[in-house]
Each structure stands twice: as structure tokens, then as C-alpha cells.
Amino acid sequence: MGPLKGLKRRRKQESKASKQAAYAAAGLPSQPADWWDDFSKRISGTEDFETLFKMSRETFNYICGLVRDDLAARKSSLAALNGRPLSIDDQVAVALRRLSSGDSLLTVGQLFGVNQSTVSQVTWRFVEAMEERGLHHLRWPSPKELESIKAQFEGIRGLPNCCGAIDATHIVMCLPSVDQSNAVWLDPEKKHSMLVQAIVDPALRILDVVVGWPGSISEAHVLRSSGFFQLCERGARLNGAKTELEEQGSELREYLVGDSGYPLLPWLLTPFRGGRELPEAAAEFNKRHQATRLVAQRALARLKDTWRIVGGEMWRPDRHRLPRIILVCCILHNVIIDLEGAAVGSDRAQCTSYGHDSGYRQQQCDFSDPAARATRDRLARYLSGGLPP
């Protein structure tokens, strides 16, 4: 058995060396191989790495590499309660645990042996660094990438030339009702919340996000106030190649799919209304449309389940910092998918439902563009083999 153990040991060492070389080639500092072995001995509990941080060790290493220089440049004496200085890896671990668990500063501090103010300071420094160094993981795709995305969307239920699914979710906050200035944050369900709008691809990656609007504002208003809306309206986005439908001379431009809380626009297709009274072609379109836009619900459910700081009711958050925290959670959401894939992350997150806004009713927007109605009719006929919508 001796030679076999030696072989396993050598292979493990070779694997570590290979990973270190890969990080060096990417220009990222590598993490000390024994960091987790040492760190796990210093914290209470028996959770393994992936349960504690909701990501693989390799992804954690990558994130450390992204923020290491920025955190190291901050001259301060961050230390544990026993006086031991916090390494960069310690700081990333504290911040990720705070964001992923949603636990209080006190609970996170007790787990890692640091005081509450240190948890707060470390988490905010990490948010600032990640916002600066990780933003390339959250961007609109290139034309070549969009072609792949469109093919994946068409593979779901046959919708051609679809570039994304749009949806919104509420980040619920606990705010004192006696303060009249908080009334603007009251949403239709009489909860204080901040609205987040996201456009998602079939891999559950977030391609565009809008954060910071009060929950009292409608989804349609948030869309119309967004930079993405302005780009689309002036033809600077969703302006790629059109797709020929079977009808002679009928072309379909690039578009998003969204629920009935959004306006029907030439570049944003929403469902037909009418329920059971809908014609066959319209009903078939709605089924395909719903199955396609489900990716946005799945992505938002996973975001709130993995990064539970935005998944529960936040106790009197700093509303100036909260949008940046949400943005960084979206970046981290994408980082995990980019490095591990959508399926792996979804399994770990153990999302049991696509309902990211439990207790919220469907919003309705009555605006529909005439050209968009004609486009939706043509697409419904195409998907139903020529049946009238």
C-alpha cells in the first residue's frame, strides 16, 4: 500500500501545482495551499468548504485573486479578537459568509472570532473591491456571444432570435413606519422594499441589472427609466441580425421576453391576455413564452437563495450602500456560473421554487405598441404552423 499512497500524494501535489500555474498564467496571485486547513481549525462548526461559502475552493481562490491587491492596498490593522492579523483570505472568507448567509454581524463575528465592527468593515471593503474588479463578469454579450444565447433560447421552446428574459424582484427591508420618509419604499404588498430588475440568459447569468428603485415604483417605470431602455429605443441595443419567419417578407428583430408587468414593445414581447378564452395560436405562444422567461425567475430565485443577505428581510439597511451590495451579489452570482456552470451552482443552492417574490401579485402594464402587437401575432402564427392568433 505504500507505493499507492505515495502515488496519490504525488498526484495531489501535481494537481495543486497545475492550479497554481494556471492562476500565475492568468496574472492572479495564488492562494496558499494550506489556508483552508489552517482556517477551518480556527472557526467553530463542522461545515465543509462548499457548505460554508456556497462555492468551490477554486472559485474562492479566483475571487481572492481579483480583490487581493485592492484589499492589500488598504492600510489598516484588521485583526481577530485574539489579536491575530486578518489575512486577505480571512477577509474574503468573512465577507463571503456575511453575504451568503445573511446572518447578523454578531453571528458572523462569533463564527470567525472577530468583532461586529470588523465584520462590517471587512464586508464593505470587499464590496468596493469586487465592484471594481469583478464588473467584467456582468456585461452585455458580444454579437458572437448573443448568437449562442439566441440558439439556447430557441432550444427551450422554439422562440427564435430571443436575447434575454427580463424580470424584477423585491429586496425586502425592515424600516420604521413612524418615519414618514420611508413611505416611498412601501410596495403594493405594503412591505418596505427595493426593486431589482435583471435581464438573464439561458445559463442563468445576469446580463444587465438595475438596482436602487423604491418598491413603490412599478416594474414598467423602472424599465423606462433604465439605460437599457434608452439604448434600445435609439437602436443601440437589440439591433443585431433579424430572423426570417416562414411568412414571405416577415422578419423578426432581436427581443426580450417579459411578463405582463412590462409594456409590449417591438423589442420586448409579453404574453397575450385573455386566459382560457385565447385562440389556439395565442395560447400556444403563451406556453412557449412562459417556459422561456422562466430562466429569469430561476436566476432571481437562485440569487436570493445563494446570497441570503438580499433574500430575507434586511434590518434597517443603509439604503445608499444597499444597491452596491446587491450589484456585487449579482457579480458573484455570475462568477460562480462562469467558473462552475449553472447546473452545479443550482444544485448547491438547493432552490426548491422559482418564486423569488413570495406573496407578491403579478403586476399589470396596459401599454402595448401597435407594431409590437403585429410582431407578436406573426410570431404566434409562425410557432403554431399558420393558425390565426
119 and 195 together in one domain: no
Both 250 and 345 in a single domain? yes
- The Cα–Cα gap between 349 and 244 comes to 40
Residue with cell 385562440: 279
**pLDDT score of 306:** 95
Cα dihedral angle (184, 190, 191, 195), rounded to 10 degrees?
A: -60
Q: How many CA atoms lie within 13 A of 12 on its CB side?
A: 7
Which tops the pLDDT comparison, 348 or 191?
A: 191
Domain-embedded: residue 292: yes
What backbone phi and psi angles, to 5 degrees, belong to 333? -55, -45
Task: List Cα–Cα distances, 317 to 116, 172, 192, 242, in angstroms.
Answer: 15, 10, 11, 45
129 and 155 in a single domain? The answer is: no
Same domain? 46 vs 21: no
Residues 6-34: what's their mean pLDDT? Answer: 51
Using one digit for the tens of pLDDT, what is the confidence trace for 191-245? 999 999 999 999 999 999 999 999 999 999 999 999 999 999 999 999 999 999 8
Same domain, 286 and 323: yes
pLDDT band at 34 (very low <50, low <70, confident <90, very high): low
Both 88 and 172 in a single domain?
A: no
> What values do phi and psi take at 16, rounded to 5?
-60, -40
Structural domain ending residue among the three candidates 108, 133, 158: 133
Please tell me whether residues 16 and 82 are part of one structural domain.
Answer: no
29: nearest Cα among 69, 86, 74: 69
Mean pLDDT over all residues of the chain? 88
110: left (phi over 0), alpha (psi -120 to 50) or beta: alpha
2 and 68 co-located in one domain: no
Inside any domain, residue 258: yes
Of the pLDDT bands very low, low, confident and very high (cuts 50, 70, 90), residue 163 is very high
- The whole-number average pLDDT for the span 330-338 is 97
Q: Is 174 helix (H, G, I), strand (E, B) or coil?
A: strand
* Per-residue pLDDT band at 347 (split at 50, 70, 90): very low
Q: Which of 82-91, 94-103, 196-205 has the lowest mean pLDDT?
A: 82-91
Query: How many structural domains does the chain have?
Result: 3
Query: 289: pLDDT confidence band, cut at 50, 70 and 90?
Result: very high
pLDDT tens across 242-282, in order? 999 876 568 999 999 999 999 999 999 999 998 788 999 99
Confidence of residue 138 (pLDDT cuts 50, 70, 90): very high
pLDDT at position 35 is 81
d(CA 112, CA 114): 6
Is residue 388 domain-resident? no
Instruction: Indicate the pTM of the whole model.
Output: 0.88
Asked if residue 389 belongs to a domain, the reply is no
* Domain contains 351: yes
Quickly list DSSP for 208-246: EEEEEEETTS-HHHHHHTSHHHHHHHTTSSS-S--EE-S
Which of 126-140, 227-241, 345-359, 374-388 has the lowest average pLDDT?
345-359
Percent of the chain scoring above 70 in pLDDT: 85
Is residue 133 pLDDT above 50, yes or no? yes
Evaluate whether residue 52 is within a structural domain: yes
At which of 110, 133, 156 does a domain end? 133
pLDDT at 300 over 60: yes
188 is a domain residue: yes
pLDDT band, residue 18 (cuts 50/70/90) = low
Q: Are residues 200 and 267 in the same domain?
A: yes
pLDDT band of residue 45 (cuts 50, 70, 90) is low
Place of cell 401579485: 361
Containing domain of residue 85, as a range?
A: 37-133
Average pLDDT over residues 6-25: 51
pLDDT score of 277: 85
43 has a pLDDT exceeding 80: no
Same domain, 308 and 272: yes
Is-contact 316 187, C-beta < 8 A? no
State residue 386's pLDDT score: 66
- Where residue 2 falls among pLDDT bands split at 50, 70, 90? very low
| 3: pLDDT strictly greater than 50 | no
pLDDT recorded at residue 246: 76
Same structural domain for residues 54 and 147? no
Residue given cell 429586496 in the structure block: 171
Integer-rounded Cα Rg, in Å, for the chain is: 24
Top pLDDT among 276 and 355 is at: 276
Pairing mode, if any, of strands 255-257 and 162-174?
A: parallel
Which of 75, 104, 133 corresponds to the end of one domain? 133
299, three cell numbers: 436566476
Nearest C-alpha neighbor of 293 from the set 171, 151, 170, 156: 156
Q: Which whole number is the average pLDDT over 40-66?
A: 86
Higher pLDDT, 294 or 342: 294
State the pLDDT confidence band at 81, using cuts at 50, 70 and 90: confident
Q: Which residue has the higher pLDDT, 344 or 64?
A: 64
Q: Do 110 and 176 fall within a single domain?
A: no
Tell me, yes or no, whether 128 lies in a domain: yes
Which residues does residue 197 pair with via DSSP β-bridges, in sequence order? 168, 210
Q: Identify the weakest region by mean pLDDT among 7-11, 43-47, 92-96, 156-160.
A: 7-11
